[in-house]
């Protein structure tokens, strides 16, 4: 097979009509990533026919119109439906745009006919776990691939596949078929489209009443306590950074609220935690508003703590706009932001098993829904608020450092995340898979009646998302003598109320707080010693809630 990418057929791409997404009230990352990838795919191959793998004629008609709008040319779009999928062999591969490859592999009449190329987005749902673990029982081949958008996404995929292999081994099944390739390719953006526009930024600041002398900290993304970043850490860090700064600091949160109660919870937290900071909510998802906000802000903040995130486009967009970024050392942010160069990565900590077992059982058994499961998992993650505050304060006080980091971020975004750079990795992938398909033998999955594969513990599955996990040797120290009362006060806060369904009763929280207060620097292991497993799990959940609420310091053991 020739090495020249232009000599390899251009893969088909699965396409869902824009009308199918029109009824969704919120812009979610999967929708944006899928749409922008398709547009970039067309723009980066402007003179080549685009083959859509579509459900029906309506989907093809919509794709044809979009290809014409993007290229200014008629006749470049072609369609293959699921009923004529054997024609995908003409394209050599099909880009699935999600991880749902097992069923397609079973429907592929000739395994050597073409490659299946999926991509990870969120990996936090039971459906995504089941899909990836089903690869072990599907006729996927070495010339198929699941593109992982970050290193931690690949870690999750590999743990799921390891769990499936172990289940087969326990059932006495033969060794599974080779796994599909799992390359790491980041999401992309149109970097020039985010170039900073001072006039647009000045107009945005004036429109929202931002003082000319103020340093603006911007969060842009979904305003969601469970799906992106719990707001407490951001409000607390901005409030601490503003103290003694000597200049005004404004905090702007731009995005969409999923519901009126979430809007109320954010506003309540802004008033209660950061009442000395001028906070503005901009409820607009438009691209124009996003560019204006990125042009008018001075630094970007996102203290993500949700397992739903695997990459995170917003910091990359901020870097493209020349903003220094303060983000958590969490998930895919670790692949995008260089600590001390493009901005700062703030340490995070996660509870170990068995803290999430009860919530995971409830989710898998339909006792709680997906949103509640993600919310509970987020309560098992804490952010180093003091480190975040120091990073924000340092950048707010040093305009030249902001400019230096902003320039580094623009250069990094251009080199790694601009669509031409990202699409180059994709071309290398499908070209390489074509070479493997030309020489490697096909394999069959093991024949088994195994109907269910046990899911890994969620805290093990996502163990590489945080900076680290709690260990028995970690030392504990209360940061506020009124911690027990402040925990109780949180029961009335919309941003924390849901957490208490997975925390113990007041008297057990009080006893745990008293035990820590009585023995400063007591270790986690010492605190948990002698407790039955169920009580250890609830104690770990309580420790993480205290840490998340900035009432407890969990420190590494002394050297």
Domain boundaries defined on the chain? 5-188+421-439, 191-347+384-417, 470-555
| Cβ atoms within 10 Å, residue 452 | 8
Residue 172 pLDDT grade (very low, low, confident, very high; cuts 50, 70, 90): confident
Q: Which residues pair with 118 in a beta bridge?
A: 146
* Cα-Cα-Cα-Cα dihedral sign, residues 172, 173, 174, 176: negative
Strands 552-555, 249-254: pairing is unpaired
Residue 501 pLDDT grade (very low, low, confident, very high; cuts 50, 70, 90): confident
Per-residue tokens: 14:
């699965």
The CATH architecture to which 191-347+384-417 belongs is 3-Layer(aba) Sandwich (3.40)
CATH topology for 5-188+421-439 is: Rossmann fold (3.40.50)
Given this chain, do its domains 5-188+421-439 and 191-347+384-417 carry the same CATH topology? yes
Task: Check: CB of residue 460 under 8 Å from CB of residue 161.
Answer: no
Task: Check: CB of residue 473 under 8 Å from CB of residue 523.
Answer: yes
pLDDT of 1 > 50? The answer is no
Q: What is the mean pLDDT of residues 114-130?
A: 95
| Cβ atoms within 10 Å, residue 49 | 13
Task: Check: CB of residue 135 under 8 Å from CB of residue 101.
Answer: yes
Q: What is the pLDDT of residue 27?
A: 46
pLDDT of 4 > 90? The answer is no
* Cα-Cα-Cα-Cα dihedral sign, residues 285, 291, 297, 298: positive
Per-residue tokens: 143:
């010339």
Residue 12 backbone zone (phi > 0: left; psi -120 to 50: alpha; other: beta): beta
Q: What is the pLDDT of residue 17?
A: 82
* Cα-Cα-Cα-Cα dihedral sign, residues 408, 33, 50, 82: positive
Tell which residue, 446, 434, 469, 229, has the closest CA to residue 348. Answer: 469
| Whether the predicted model's global pTM rises above the 0.85 cut | yes
pLDDT of 142 > 90? The answer is yes
Q: What is the mean pLDDT of residues 304-330?
A: 96
């Amino acid at each position: 097979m020739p090495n020249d990418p232009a000599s390899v057929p251009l893969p088909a791409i699965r396409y869902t009509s824009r009308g199918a997404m029109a009824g969704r009230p919120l812009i979610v990352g999967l929708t944006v990533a899928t749409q922008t990838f398709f547009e970039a795919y067309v723009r980066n191959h402007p003179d080549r026919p685009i083959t859509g793998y579509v459900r029906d004629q309506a989907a093809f008609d919509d794709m044809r119109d979009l290809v014409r709008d993007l290229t200014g040319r008629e006749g470049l779009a072609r369609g293959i439906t699921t009923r004529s999928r054997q024609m995908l062999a003409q394209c050599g591969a099909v880009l699935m745009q999600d991880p749902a490859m097992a069923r397609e592999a079973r429907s592929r009449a000739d395994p050597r006919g073409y490659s299946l190329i999926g991509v990870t987005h969120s990996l936090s749902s039971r459906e995504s776990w089941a899909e990836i673990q089903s690869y072990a029982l599907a006729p996927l081949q070495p010339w198929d691939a699941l593109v992982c958008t970050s290193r931690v996404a690949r870690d999750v995929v590999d743990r799921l596949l390891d769990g499936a292999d172990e289940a087969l081994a326990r059932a006495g099944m033969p060794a599974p078929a080779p796994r599909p390739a799992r390359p790491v390719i980041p999401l992309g953006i149109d970097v020039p489209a985010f170039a900073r526009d001072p006039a647009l930024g000045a107009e945005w600041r004036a429109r929202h009443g931002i003082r000319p002398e103020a340093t603006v900290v911007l969060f842009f993304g979904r305003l969601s306590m469970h799906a992106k970043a719990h707001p407490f850490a951001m409000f607390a860090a901005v409030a601490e950074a503003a103290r003694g700064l000597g200049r005004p600091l404004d905090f702007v949160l731009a995005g969409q609220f999923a519901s009126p109660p979430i809007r109320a919870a954010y506003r309540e937290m802004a008033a209660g935690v950061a009442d000395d900071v001028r906070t503005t909510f901009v409820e607009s998802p438009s691209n124009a508003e996003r560019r204006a906000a990125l042009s008018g802000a001075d630094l970007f903040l996102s203290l993500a703590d949700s397992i739903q995130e695997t990459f995170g486009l917003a910091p990359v967009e901020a870097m493209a706009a020349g903003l220094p970024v303060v983000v958590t050392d969490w998930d895919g942010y670790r692949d995008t932001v260089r600590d001390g160069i493009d901005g700062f990565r703030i340490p995070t900590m996660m509870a170990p098993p068995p803290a999430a077992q009860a919530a995971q059982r409830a989710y898998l058994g339909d006792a709680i829904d997906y949103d509640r499961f993600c919310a509970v998992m987020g309560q098992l993650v804490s952010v180093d608020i003091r480190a975040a505050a120091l990073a924000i304060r340092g950048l707010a006080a040093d305009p030249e450092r902001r400019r230096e980091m902003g320039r580094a971020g623009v250069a990094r975004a251009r080199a790694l995340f601009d669509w031409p750079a990202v699409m180059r990795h994709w071309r290398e992938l499908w070209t390489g898979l074509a070479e493997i398909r030309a020489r490697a033998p096909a394999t069959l999955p093991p024949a088994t009646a195994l109907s269910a594969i046990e899911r890994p513990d969620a805290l093990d599955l996502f163990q590489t998302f945080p900076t680290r996990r709690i260990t028995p040797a970690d030392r504990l120290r209360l940061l506020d003598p009124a911690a027990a009362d402040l925990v109780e006060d949180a029961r009335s806060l919309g941003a924390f109320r849901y957490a208490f369904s997975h925390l113990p009763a007041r008297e057990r929280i009080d006893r745990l707080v008293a035990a820590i207060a009585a023995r400063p620097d007591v270790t986690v292991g010492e605190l948990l010693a002698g407790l039955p497993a169920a009580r250890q799990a609830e104690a770990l959940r309580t420790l993480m809630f205290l840490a998340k609420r900035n009432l407890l310091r969990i420190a590494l053991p002394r050297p």
